[in-house]
């Protein structure tokens, strides 16, 4: 038995709340008299939207129940964290220029062993919204914005590179601007003051803004933005749903559950950089396991292929995929890709706010690079790795499931209207959706990486059979 004389009324009876007037109010009862306390004592169960709670032990009623029972709006709403401040769009827009002065970009066009075509470099700039620092001690550096799934600019990393695209210096745009203002004894802009109070600066994945644009691609998760850029340039752009969509966490230690929330429902392959005694691999493996358990319908797997293949010296130096890739010829990677490329998956119809009007002239670095050299493809470590990723666990096939799906969709009338697959996915053209999804599951029969396609078809079947 409760030792308190005044307790909440048992059961589910709700009264009108004195604060918000909704019938969501639980009253206190006097267990001795079995009577309600005056109607101001109680708790509104609309915790987030109302939050009224008056406790008879807190305002003195319990000691003296003749005190004046005045209504006095008390809020006990759960404490809300201070709102995260993002980098204003105009600050971000100013970085998107001067690619002819950008060392990283110019190296990719001119200085590496197998330079890229300007078309691909323009595409990569547009995809990840890369930019340039044109003044100060980071002049010629590249900006890597961390843009979240709602197109907010959470952070802008700044890196300077040497001739072989190795990182010279790492910084953040907010630090550079803060320093600039302090040194010149100028007032720090209000947004920056607020921004500097953010608990964490890099609070989303690099490339996160691409997730809704490419809803079906398997994800490659790496440490640094540069590696994500190289991965895309070598393995191909995500407009082909078979290609990996490359995202970066920022650094080894910043892989965490909050950053990975945007990866709900995705297949994620992690590629930590090499490290002494596989420390990076072990750290990410244990984190990946925990993250997978907490994120709905996700599949997280750390690739140990670099660990297996890399010589010890590379491990000592902490080499990453980028270091390997950049020495290799990208042409043969693309050839492999083109052989088995599939039609594009239907575009997702969720409202995608365009943060930038892509202007096709933004790359002032157009440079005709002749690509006439014919190079014989040969198996490289990386190719081997890629093949292994896509073939792993290819034990079962989905013949039965595919047959069942096909016969179902053949015998029903395919709806002409939009169809809501789930909260996150609306299908505009069901016929097109079926065509491309069936093609993909048939071409990749049994490969776990394509299981989400099969699941979506089964989901649609379930919806249409009602
Ligand atoms: Zn209320």
Are the C-beta atoms of residues 401 and 454 closer than 8 Å to each other? yes
How far is the C-alpha of 454 from the C-alpha of 460, rounded, in Å?
Answer: 10
Q: What is the pLDDT of residue 75?
A: 61
Å from CA of 23 to ligand 1 middle: 8
What is the pTM (predicted TM-score) of this model?
0.59
Element (H, E) at 443: helix 430-443
Residue bearing tokens 């700044």: 158
Short-list 242, 267, 219, CA closest to 439: 242
Q: Which two tokens stand for residue 192?
A: 């920056």
Q: How does DSSP classify residue 423?
A: T
Residue bearing tokens 């594009």: 344
Å from CA of 26 to ligand 1 middle: 10
Provide the strand spans (E) within 223-273.
245-248, 267-271
Å from CA of 21 to ligand 1 middle: 6
Å from CA of 44 to ligand 1 middle: 5
How far is the C-alpha of 147 from the C-alpha of 159, rounded, in Å?
Answer: 17
Contacts of 209 (CB under 8 A, 6+ apart): 147, 148, 149, 151, 355
Are the C-beta atoms of residues 146 and 156 closer than 8 Å to each other? yes
Q: 351 burial class (0-12, 13-18, 19+ CB within 10 angstroms)? A: exposed
Averaged pLDDT, groups of 10, the chain, 466 residues long: 80 90 93 90 85 83 71 61 88 93 94 91 95 93 96 96 92 95 93 92 96 91 94 90 92 91 90 81 90 86 70 69 77 60 33 31 32 31 42 61 92 84 70 89 78 81 80
Å from CA of 75 to ligand 1 middle: 10
Short-list 172, 177, 173, CA closest to 188: 177
Tell me the CA distances in angstroms from 129 to 124, 132, 312, 353, 373, one per residue in order.
Answer: 8, 10, 36, 14, 31
Short-list 359, 380, 381, 272, CA closest to 319: 272
If DSSP codes are grouped into helix, strand and coil, which group holds residue 222?
strand
Contacts of 177 (CB under 8 A, 6+ apart): 91, 189, 192
If DSSP codes are grouped into helix, strand and coil, which group holds residue 269?
strand
Å from CA of 85 to ligand 1 middle: 30
Contacts of 361 (CB under 8 A, 6+ apart): none
Provide the strand spans (E) within 209-271.
219-222, 245-248, 267-271
How far is the C-alpha of 147 from the C-alpha of 86, rounded, in Å?
Answer: 10
Å from CA of 74 to ligand 1 middle: 11
């Amino acid at each position: 038995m409760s030792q308190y004389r005044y307790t909440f009324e048992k059961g589910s009876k709700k009264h009108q709340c004195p604060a918000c007037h909704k019938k969501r109010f639980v009253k206190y009862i006097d267990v001795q008299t079995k009577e309600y306390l005056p109607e101001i004592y109680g708790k509104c169960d609309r915790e987030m939207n109302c939050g009224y709670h008056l406790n008879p032990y807190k305002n003195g009623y319990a000691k003296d129940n003749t005190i004046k029972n005045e209504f006095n709006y008390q809020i006990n709403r759960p404490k809300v964290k201070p709102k995260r401040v993002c980098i204003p769009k105009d600050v971000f827009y100013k970085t998107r220029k001067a690619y002819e002065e950008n060392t990283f970009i110019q190296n990719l066009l001119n200085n590496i062993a197998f330079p890229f075509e300007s078309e691909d470099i323009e595409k990569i700039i547009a995809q990840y919204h890369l930019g340039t620092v044109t003044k100060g001690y980071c002049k010629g550096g590249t900006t890597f914005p961390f843009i979240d799934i709602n197109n907010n600019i959470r952070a802008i990393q700044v890196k300077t590179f040497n001739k072989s695209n190795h990182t010279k210096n790492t910084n953040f745009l907010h630090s550079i601007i803060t320093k600039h203002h302090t040194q010149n004894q100028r007032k720090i802009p209000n947004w920056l003051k607020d921004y500097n109070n953010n608990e964490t600066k890099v609070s989303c994945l690099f490339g996160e803004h691409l997730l809704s644009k490419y809803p079906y691609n398997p994800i490659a998760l790496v440490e640094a933005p540069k590696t994500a850029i190289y991965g895309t340039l070598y393995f191909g752009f995500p407009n082909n749903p078979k290609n990996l969509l490359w995202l970066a966490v920022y650094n080894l230690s910043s892989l965490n559950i909050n950053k990975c929330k945007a990866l709900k429902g995705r297949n994620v392959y992690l590629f930590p950089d090499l490290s002494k005694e596989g420390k990076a691999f072990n750290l990410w493996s244990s984190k990946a396991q925990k993250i997978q358990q907490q994120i709905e319908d996700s599949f997280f797997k750390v690739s140990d292929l670099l660990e297996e293949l890399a010589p010890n010296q590379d491990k000592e130096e902490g080499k990453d995929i980028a270091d390997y890739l950049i020495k290799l010829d990208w042409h043969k990677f693309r050839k492999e890709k083109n052989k088995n490329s599939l039609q594009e998956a239907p575009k997702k119809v969720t409202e995608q706010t365009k943060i930038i009007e892509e202007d096709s002239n933004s790359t002032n670095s157009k440079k005709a690079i002749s690509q006439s050299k014919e190079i014989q493809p040969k198996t490289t470590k990386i190719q081997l790795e890629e093949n292994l990723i896509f073939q792993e666990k290819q034990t079962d096939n989905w013949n039965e499931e595919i047959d069942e799906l096909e016969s179902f969709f053949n015998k029903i009338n395919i709806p002409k209207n939009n169809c809501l697959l789930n909260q996150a996915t609306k299908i505009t053209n069901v016929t097109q959706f079926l065509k491309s999804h069936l093609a993909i599951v048939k071409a990749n029969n049994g490969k776990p990486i394509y299981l989400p396609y099969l699941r979506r078809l089964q989901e649609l079947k379930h919806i249409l059979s009602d």
